[in-house]
Amino acid sequence: MTNELTVDSAFWSLFPEARIGAVTVHGLNNAIVADQEQHYQDLLTEAGKAAHQFLGAETFRENPVVAEWRTAYSQFKKKKGARSSIEALLKRIDQGKQLSPINPLVDIYNSVSLTYGVPCGGENLATIEGTMHLGIAKGGEAFKPLGEDEDDPALPGEVIYYDQVGAVCRCFNWRDGERTMLTETTTDAILVVEAINADQKARQTEAVATLQARIKDAFGVDSDVAWFEAK
């Protein structure tokens, strides 16, 4: 069991059937290497093709993965337009768009997310203050969104990942923060894979195994996994 993540009891009260898989990895070299960019582009392209198994409904929101997460998001306070990270990725595929490489670790978890239809995210452990928690926001937790100039604190009742400083990621994996983002210089990371029902858990189990295998293949290092479920 990793001590890098704690899931608060308030979260289980809201989502008693959920399960969180947390993969921790140390000693990475996440630098972008020019001659590997095509490899990661190919990985994302193949994942995009695999993701079509989760599409097909005439109306995008009626695809089961999208509908399940929209229902989950209706159970807590959130910003208007907040959607699960897997919905955001599937939306791009549904619109005929292709993902481009960002950095190796992000590319790997995005490829896994699309292939298995589950939300994945990652944080730089070196920038986490204390233990990272998944829980319910009191409101006002400091948060500077990735790519934004101004702070945008968490809302009361919002599902967030947080540490001693503030929010790390808002609305499950909807919006990542600049403070803890994965970069080329990241050497130690925690990656989370989320599921909220039995069907998602089955895919989540495969997703975590694939995530660990791709990390081993890309970086030559082993990773640890911990599973969190309601007691």
Across 33-46, average pLDDT: 95
Whether 140 has a pLDDT exceeding 60, the answer reads yes
Which residue in 170, 201, 178 sits closest to 76, CA to CA? 170
What are the tens digits of pLDDT across the range 201-214? 999 999 999 999 99
- Give 146's pLDDT tier (boundaries 50, 70, 90): confident
Domain count, the chain: 1
**198 close to 109: Cβ distance less than 8 angstroms:** no
The tokens describing 223, both together, are 């990773």
Give the range among 68-77, 148-157, 211-220 with minimum mean pLDDT. 148-157
CA angle 194, 196, 197 (to 5 degrees): 130
**Mean pLDDT, all residues of the chain:** 96
Across 114-131, average pLDDT: 97
- 6: phi then psi, degrees, rounded to nearest 5: -125, 135
> Looking at residue 136, which CATH number applies to its domain?
3.50.40.10
Structure confidence at residue 147 (pLDDT): 83
Structure confidence at residue 1 (pLDDT): 35
- Structural domain range at position 166: 5-229
